[in-house]
Structure 1
Amino acid sequence: MASNRAARLDHALYDLHMRHWGWDPGNDVVIVAIDPASLDALGRWPWPRELHARLIDRLTAAGVRGIGMDVTVSEPNVAHLQNDQAFAAAIARNGRVVMPVFAEAQELGGMLQEILPIPAVAKAAAAMGQVDVAVDDDRVVRSAYLMAGLGSPYWPSLALALARLDRDAGSKVLPGLRDNALDPRSPYLWERDNLVRLRYAGPDGSFGRVSYADVLNGKVPAALLKGRLVLVGATAEGMGDIINTPDGNIPGVEYQANVLAALRRGETILPLNLAGQFLLGASLLLLPLGLYGLPGLHRAWRAAAVSSLACLLLSVLLLRLAHLWWPPAACVLLMLGGTALLWLLARLDVLTRRRQHRRRIATGFAA
């Protein structure tokens, strides 16, 4: 119960801070949105894959830097295999397209399987990336796993795979909190690694967005797309790809855009590991003892209150200045709870001494 209460307080502090710490994502990342206007123009989803082929050719002609397709193509279109081949050919012509991978159980309670694009598309893609979403216990998404996979985390995230196409990331250390417990496990377990906290650019619509149908029909000037990293995905309500963030609901493709832009600009936040949290928390729990007795702090509760504020301030400073997240709630609750317990014990001791004193006085009178 106490740990749940601390987690809720940490979430509230983090969310409050993030709502007032947005950033300008610039125009390097553009979303090609499967929006209501596109559905009206092109018909109900799913669309023929020949449309995806035409879209990619349009983006290729516009000179985009890379394309992340947040669109599932996991089963062949048996009735129109030529559309699958056209889609794969367009991907191959571009040469810088990333396709999604996700884990799903084929039946309720069944074992997870990795769902990959159809073979022709997988072969043509420059890379593939997992689209796992790190959901906290309150159903809010504050983080991302940069690596994940069945048995071991060998798939980069879709955003990371696209970022790696844009530059040589071979020598750069991948950010994120490592899972040091990773070892060969069941090949049917979905393993995650390199956890980063996200600093969202802002609410829904913070990234440049153009309509899929407008791009397809040549209504979007090439200058708006040239040299950009493009993510293609659903933004229309009812398509089931909505993510709850501290800034409100956003479509999954905008979640990927936030991860991509944060990786490119170094805006990811590293969660402090358990050892670091313990050492920092243990040090701060001693702070009330150091403050007690100083001018204005002759009462234990005052020293504890000042120490608690210091914990919160330190957490914010680490977040702002070092891009480190240390959840302070457990330390603050222990500090206040410990002070309250000591005060209670002291009061009980005083009351016990008074009772003993009264008894001695009563005994003396009786004698």
Structure 2
Amino acid sequence: MPTTFAWLVRGMLWMAGVGLLVLLIVSGVTVPLDNALYDLNARYWRYTPDDHVVIVAIDPKSLDEVGRFPWPRSVHAQLIDRLAADGVRGIGMDITMSTPSNDPNDDAQVAAAIHRSGKVVLPVFAEAVTLGGPLQEALPVSGIAQSVAALGQVDVAKDNDERVRGAYLKAGLGSPYWPSLALALLQLGHTTSNSALPGLHDPERNDASPYLWMRDDYVLLRYAGPAGTFGRLSYADVLNNRVPASLLKDRWVLIGATAEGLGDILQTPDSPMPGVEYQANVLESLERGMLVTPLGFLREFALAAAMLTLPLLLYGLPGIGRNWLLLWISMTLVLVLSIVLLRGGYLWWPPVSCMMVIAAEFAAWQLLMRHRRPVHA
């Protein structure tokens, strides 16, 4: 049986390990390694999208036929009427209309088309009007904003390495009251309460300044694949009635730029991707319940602290003499648990900090017990 000294060493190592674990999690030192592990999972965890989401792309073909972008808003009005006639389920336009057109008649036409459809969601975002000035919400111009079915924020959740792994389902100035564009679209068909939303919640969401852009309900994405995975139809083809209605009926339609030089190009774990296809991934994952919720600090810490006990309880017990093998088994179990939670429960537990502490505990155990001779009764 292990000696009293050995049990004392176990207890000391566990407490030291817990302290080190807190430091690693709070400091974020292991975040790059955890992100790399998540990215590796993402590349081998793809899925085939349903045909419920269709992108109507402002592509090179459309630019050649319609002309240089931005187009008169009367063109968008024609497209919206065409989509409504084809029986789409809802229309999300990843196109800003926050400033008036040179021709007020263009704004009136698109507002009228949006009102006739009753299924159009337009974007809202935060911007500083003056350099270094306070943020303001950029809404569609008044006449258009009054015609939409809903507004949705298009905030992009970039990590420190500029990669986009997730999304905020709620965001807003002062408090996160705007749903994301994808969530606003889904809410056209059925009500989704705040309590039912997946994601990591901000416990301080009600204590913010009214001048700060607040985010909540952070989720990680399971991307369907690289750019081009979702079905695309050329804006010009839809506008000019060259697309069968059967390809649009009862679909969610997202309208946005895919042509080079237009719109945002986001770096995902897989490949660069147009912003409109990023929105398609959020929409598809939200509708099918495939969004990943990261564990908060307390749950991440509690799970890791529990996993630290396994090797400490087993080191030095009779019949377990190959401690190196036990170390690798313990670290493998941590990694496997992380993957099982991710793929089985859509929960993300970053494992690297726990694995590093287990390795540090093993090294300390070997150092403290190397020259310790067994005590005989």
Q: Distance in 2 between matches of 1:270 and 1:297?
A: 38
Match of 1:124 in 2: 147
Matching residue within 11, 14, 17 for 2:35: 11
Match of 2:47 in 1: 23
User: Does 1:224 pair with 2:247?
Assistant: yes
Give 1:299 shift.
4.1
% identical aligned pairs = 58
Q: Distance in 2 between matches of 1:295 and 1:198?
A: 46
CA shift in 2, pair 1:90/1:13, >3 Å: same
Give 1:220 shift.
0.8
Letter of the structure 2 residue corresponding to residue 322 of structure 1: G
1:95-110 equivalences under 5 Å are: 95-110=118-133
Give 1:296 shift.
7.1
Give 1:295 shift.
7.6
Contact 1:288 1:300 in 2 (8 A): no
1:69-218 equivalences under 5 Å are: 69-77=93-101, 79-170=102-193, 173-218=196-241
Match of 1:316 in 2: 339
Q: Distance in 2 between matches of 1:110 and 1:335?
A: 48
Residues 282-322 of structure 1, C-alpha deviations (whole Å, 9 max, x = no match): 00011111332468742443322211111000000001111
Contact 2:74 2:110 in 1 (8 A): yes
Q: Distance in 2 between matches of 1:171 and 1:72?
A: 26
Q: Which has the higher contact order (CA 8 A, sep 6+)?
A: 2
Give 1:161 shift.
0.1
**What is the root-mean-square deviation in Å for CA atoms of aligned residues?**
1.8
User: Does 1:243 pair with 2:237?
Assistant: no
Q: Distance in 2 between matches of 1:184 and 1:8?
A: 30
Give 1:167 shift.
2.2
Match of 2:14 in 1: none
Match of 1:60 in 2: 84
Which stretch has the larger CA shift, 288-297 or 66-75?
A: 288-297
Residues 134-186 of structure 1, C-alpha deviations (whole Å, 9 max, x = no match): 11111111111100001000000000000111223249711111111222321
SS at match of 2:30: helix
Give 1:108 shift.
2.7
Matching residue within 328, 331, 339 for 2:354: 331
Match of 1:275 in 2: 298
Give 1:133 shift.
0.7
Letter of the structure 2 residue corresponding to residue 117 of structure 1: P
Aligned length: 349
Letter of the structure 1 residue corresponding to residue 231 of structure 2: G
TM-score by length of structure 2 reads 0.89
Q: Which runs of 5+ in 2 are unaligned?
A: 1-22
CA shift in 2, pair 1:330/1:171, >3 Å: closer
Match of 1:357 in 2: none
Letter of the structure 1 residue corresponding to residue 62 of structure 2: S
Q: Which runs of 5+ in 1 are unaligned?
A: 354-367
Letter of the structure 2 residue corresponding to residue 42 of structure 1: V
Give 1:83 shift.
0.4
